[in-house]
């Protein structure tokens, strides 16, 4: 190494150092770009209303729920989940926002659900808007609460 | 007295026209129908109406009710029974005669009837003897008269003296407008200086004229000459005018046609005066009676709306209008006669507030506005826009316990709706009409209407506002029920 240094002239050493720096910078940039190309978006795979959740799965999916059932669930599955994040379940009755639930997702895939207790006054058409962490609507599920 | 002058001073030009128009209509009816039976019946109905109003004023309910019924019935009877007379008045005369013409001579006088009859008999050479009494009683002088009591007419006189009539030989006694007796035998004159051409008829005429102050008309059967006998003198009459003059003089009526016309004009003028007085009285009773207050619920009318805007709603559909006026006017006033109008010519999109004033309210004459409640009206105007909205099913009722309505989709699930921008701004979903679950027991499809609220919304699609629901029903698993 010392012999090589002695053989090279100083300006050649400076130029070599600059080249090394450039190559290092390029080599560091390349993996980052490759990483960005592989980044995945949050995708919803299932969004249903159901009477209950059994073993992490929706049970008795339906479009109409009776007050007698006592509660109703909104079940959503996401794959992929690119990073840990939140989604929201916003419950509307006749266009009026009743409640919003914040639910956390974990990578690489995740399922979450929210529920509401049913009362007599809840009868009517409902919808649940599933929103991402930015508030963008991913999915709308419509259902009704009846006698 | 001062109250009367105050009321007279309060009469406006409209009121004067009002009184004059009605008076003139009544006057025309009088002119057209005077002397006919129709006029008498109308006068009778008028009397009944006054009686009915009096009965109503005194609280005689049954009498008033009965009078009303009779008046209504009589009005129909007039039209049916006197349809020919009414037709004659309206058809036979020209328009001018109906609206302003005055027939000065509606009927012939007895003198004219007699004159025309006499010359008709003379032309046919039918002998006739007519006695027109004056003041003297001649019942003891004449004999064998047959009571007749017929209304004087040319036809009647001709038929009396018609040669085949059993009573044609004697004299007819004419008193006023009636033929009192026919076939009367008159005393014969005993004079010896009469021309040989005079027959029994002439001697009889002369005989009566010698004994009484009656005038006797003779129509010669042989020559057709007309003579009159009075005060023991026989005079030949050359023409009808001379005969008429003699008859008038005999009856003490020396006035000529001009005098008669003057008398008739006086009569018409008096009738017009009486009618104006009556109508003025009625007008005062209607418009200047005791002040009465009344309240009416009047719907608001909107006008001059920009066609590009839509009337979305208003805080009020009707206002309560408090009015005052004469009792009869107020009792007969209806909501149709009172208008509450708001001009939207200067209104803008959004909420517009209007304060109701006298200018917004039109009232019938004689009625004044006291108050409007409420005075402020909020009107919302909007511009129609089109918006695409998702449709959602509005289920109601109860699904059977052993069933699950697994899914339900709509065709189409989005519709284009036209409505006011401010309305559509707040609407995010259109719901179907309420769909009952009670009768659903298997998978199927339903065609349903959309529930558009407010009703001003309109669906653009050609499906007539209907959507189809496709639904899936499944049975619950055992243990789930």
Of B110, B237, B241, B116, which is closest to residue B179 (Cα–Cα)? B110
* Selected residue with higher pLDDT from A96 and B265: A96
The pLDDT value recorded for residue A59 is 92
CATH number of the domain enclosing B114: 3.40.1700.10
Q: What pLDDT, on a 0 to 100 scale, did the predictor assign at position B89? A: 67
Q: Which two tokens stand for residue B54?
A: 């009096």
pLDDT at B40 over 80: no
Residues B123 and B96 in one domain: no
Q: Which residues of B touch A137 (CB under 8 A)?
A: none
By the 8 A CB rule, do A77 and A109 touch? yes
Domain A44-146 classified CATH 2.60.120.10?
no
Q: Which 8-state DSSP code applies to residue B187?
A: P
Computed over every residue of chain B, the mean pLDDT equals: 83
Domain match, B119 and B223 both: yes
Please give the residue of chain A at the shortest CA–CA distance from B426: A95
* pLDDT above 70 as % of chain B: 88
**What DSSP state is assigned to residue A57?**
E
Is B314 a domain residue?
Answer: yes
- Average confidence (pLDDT) over A135-141: 94
Residue of B390, B391, B392 for testing the chain A interface, max A β-carbons within 10 Å: B392
Residue B197 tokens read as 């051409």
Q: Is residue B480 part of a domain?
A: no
Q: Is the residue at B332 inside a domain?
A: yes
Contacts of B393 (CB under 8 A, 6+ apart): A63, A125, A142, A144, B408, B410, B431, B432, B435, B448, B469
B124 and B198: one domain? Answer: yes
Given CB atoms, is B348 within the 8 Å cutoff of chain A?
Answer: no
Count the neighbouring beta carbons within 10 Å of the beta carbon of residue B293. Answer: 11
pLDDT band at B391 (very low <50, low <70, confident <90, very high): very high
If phi > 0 it is left, if psi is from -120 to 50 it is alpha, else beta; for residue A124 that is left
Q: What is the pTM (predicted TM-score) of this model? A: 0.45
Regarding whether B204 and B139 lie in a shared domain, the answer is yes
Structure tokens at A142: 């419509």
Residue B220 shares a structural domain with residue B234? yes
Domain membership of residue B3 (yes or no) is no
Residue B338 and residue B456 in one domain:
no
**According to the model, what pLDDT value does residue B393 have?**
94
The closest alpha carbon to B404, from A91, A124, A140, A52, belongs to A52
| Interface A-B: count of C-beta contacts within 8 A | 53
Are residues B480 and A66, on separate chains, in Cβ contact within 8 Å? no
Phi, psi of B139, deg, nearest 5: -60, -30
Asked if residue B117 and residue B90 are part of one domain, the reply reads: no
pLDDT at residue B334 tops 50: yes
What does the domain layout of chain A look like in residue ranges?
8-39, 44-146
Q: How far apart, in whole angstroms, are the C-alpha atoms of residue B403 and residue B128?
A: 118
In this prediction, residue A63 carries a pLDDT of 94
Tokens of B388: 């695409």
* B297 part of a folded domain: yes
Whether B237 and B133 map to the same domain: the answer is: yes
Q: What is the pLDDT of residue A136?
A: 93
- Would the CB atoms of A125 and B399 count as touching at under 8 Å? no
d(CA B325, CA B333): 10
Looking at chain A, the number of H-run helices and the number of E-run strands are: 2, 9
Task: Could you list the beta-strand ranges (E) of B109-168.
Answer: 128-132, 146-151
B130: its two tokens: 């007519």
pLDDT digits (tens, 9 = 90+) for B360-382: 998 887 788 888 999 899 998 88
CA distance between the termini of chain A: 88
pLDDT digits (tens, 9 = 90+) for B261-316: 777 788 888 988 988 888 888 777 666 655 778 889 999 999 988 888 888 788 88
ipTM associated with this complex: 0.73
| Of the residues B325, B358, B382, the one at which a domain ends | B382
B70 exposed, middle or buried (CB, 10 Å; 0-12, 13-18, 19+)?
A: middle
Lowest model confidence (mean pLDDT) among A110-114, B132-136, B412-416: B132-136
Instruction: Specify the higher pLDDT residue, B57 or B186.
Output: B186
- Of residues B110 and B439, more confidence is placed in B439
Residues of chain B with pLDDT > 90, as a percent, come to 20
Higher-scoring residue by pLDDT: B38, B442: B442
Question: Helices in B337-468 by DSSP H: which ranges?
Answer: 421-426
Q: Are residues B73 and B135 in the same domain?
A: no
E strand map for B88-170: 128-132, 146-151
Same domain? For B295 and B370 the reply is yes
Q: Which domain holds residue B408?
A: 384-475
The answer on pLDDT for B171 being more than 50 is yes
Q: Which residues pair with B147 in a beta bridge?
A: B181
CB contact under 8 A, A60 and B404: yes
Looking at per-residue confidence, does B468 or B141 come out higher?
B468
B401 pLDDT above the threshold of 60: yes
Domain count, chain B: 4
CATH of the domain at B323: 2.170.120.30
Q: Which of A54, A122, A146 to mutate to test the interface with B (most CBs of B within 10 A)?
A: A146
Q: What is the pLDDT of residue A35?
A: 43
Query: Does pLDDT of A32 surpass 70?
Result: no
- Among candidate residues B382, B401, B436, the one where a domain is terminated: B382
Q: Answer whether residue B36 shows pLDDT above 90.
A: no
Same domain, B131 and B209: yes
Flag whether residue B451 sits within 8 Å of chain A, measured between CB atoms: no
């Amino acid at each position: 190494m010392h012999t090589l240094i002695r053989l090279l002239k100083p300006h050649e050493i400076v130029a070599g150092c600059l080249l090394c720096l450039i190559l290092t910078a390029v080599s560091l940039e390349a993996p980052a770009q490759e990483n960005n190309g592989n980044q995945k978006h949050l995708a919803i795979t299932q969004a249903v209303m159901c009477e209950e959740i059994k073993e992490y799965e929706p049970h008795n999916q339906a479009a109409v729920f009776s007050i007698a059932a006592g509660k109703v669930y909104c079940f959503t599955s996401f794959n992929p989940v690119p990073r840990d994040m939140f989604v929201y379940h916003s419950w509307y009755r006749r266009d009026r926002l009743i409640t919003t639930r914040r639910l956390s997702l974990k990578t690489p895939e995740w399922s979450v659900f929210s529920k509401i207790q049913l009362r007599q006054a809840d009868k009517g058409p409902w919808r649940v808007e599933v929103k991402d962490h930015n508030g963008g609507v991913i999915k709308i599920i419509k259902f009704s609460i009846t006698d | 007295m001062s109250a009367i002058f105050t009321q007279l001073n309060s009469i406006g030009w409209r009121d004067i026209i009002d009184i004059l128009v009605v008076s003139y209509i009544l006057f025309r009816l009088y002119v057209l129908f005077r002397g006919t039976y129709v006029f008498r019946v109308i006068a009778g109905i008028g009397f009944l109406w006054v009686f009915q109003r009096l009965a109503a004023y005194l609280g005689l309910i049954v009498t008033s009710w009965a009078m009303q019924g009779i008046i209504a019935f009589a009005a129909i009877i007039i039209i049916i029974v006197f349809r020919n007379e009414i037709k004659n008045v309206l058809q036979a005369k020209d328009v001018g005669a109906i609206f302003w013409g005055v027939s000065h001579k509606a009927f012939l006088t007895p003198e004219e009837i007699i004159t025309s009859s006499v010359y008709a008999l003379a032309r046919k050479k039918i002998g006739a003897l007519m006695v027109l009494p004056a003041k003297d009683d001649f019942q003891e002088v004449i004999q064998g008269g047959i009571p007749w009591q017929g209304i004087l007419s040319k036809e009647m006189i001709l038929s009396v003296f018609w040669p085949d009539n059993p009573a044609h030989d004697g004299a007819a006694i004419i008193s006023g407008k009636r033929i009192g007796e026919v076939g009367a035998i008159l005393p014969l004159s005993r004079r010896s200086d009469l021309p040989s051409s005079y027959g029994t008829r002439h001697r009889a005429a002369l005989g009566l004229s010698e004994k009484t102050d009656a005038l006797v008309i003779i129509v010669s059967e042989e020559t057709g000459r007309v003579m009159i006998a009075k005060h023991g003198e026989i005079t030949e009459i050359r023409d009808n005018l001379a005969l008429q003059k003699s008859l008038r003089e005999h009856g003490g009526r020396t006035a000529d046609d001009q005098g008669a016309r003057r008398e008739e004009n006086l009569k018409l003028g008096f009738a017009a005066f009486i009618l104006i007085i009556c109508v003025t009285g009625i007008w005062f009773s209607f418009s200047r009676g005791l002040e009465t207050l009344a309240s009416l619920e009047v719907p608001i009318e909107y006008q001059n709306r920009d066609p590009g805007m839509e009337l979305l709603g208003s805080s009020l559909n009707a206002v309560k209008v408090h009015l005052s006026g004469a009792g009869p006017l107020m009792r007969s006033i209806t909501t149709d006669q009172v208008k509450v109008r708001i001009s939207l010519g200067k209104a803008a999109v959004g909420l517009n507030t209007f304060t109701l004033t006298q200018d917004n309210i039109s009232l019938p004459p004689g009625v004044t506005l006291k108050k409007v409640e409420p005075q402020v009206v909020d009107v919302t105007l909007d511009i129609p826009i089109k918006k695409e909205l998702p449709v959602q099913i509005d289920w109601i009722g109860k699904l059977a316990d052993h069933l699950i309505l697994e899914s339900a989709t709509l065709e189409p699930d989005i519709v284009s709706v036209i409505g006011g921008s401010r309305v559509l701004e707040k609407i995010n979903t259109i719901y179907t009409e309420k769909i009952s679950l009670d009768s659903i027991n298997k998978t199927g499809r339903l065609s349903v209407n959309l529930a558009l609220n407010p009703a001003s919304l309109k669906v653009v699609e050609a499906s007539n506002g209907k959507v189809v629901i496709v639904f899936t029903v499944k049975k619950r698993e055992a243990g789930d029920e």
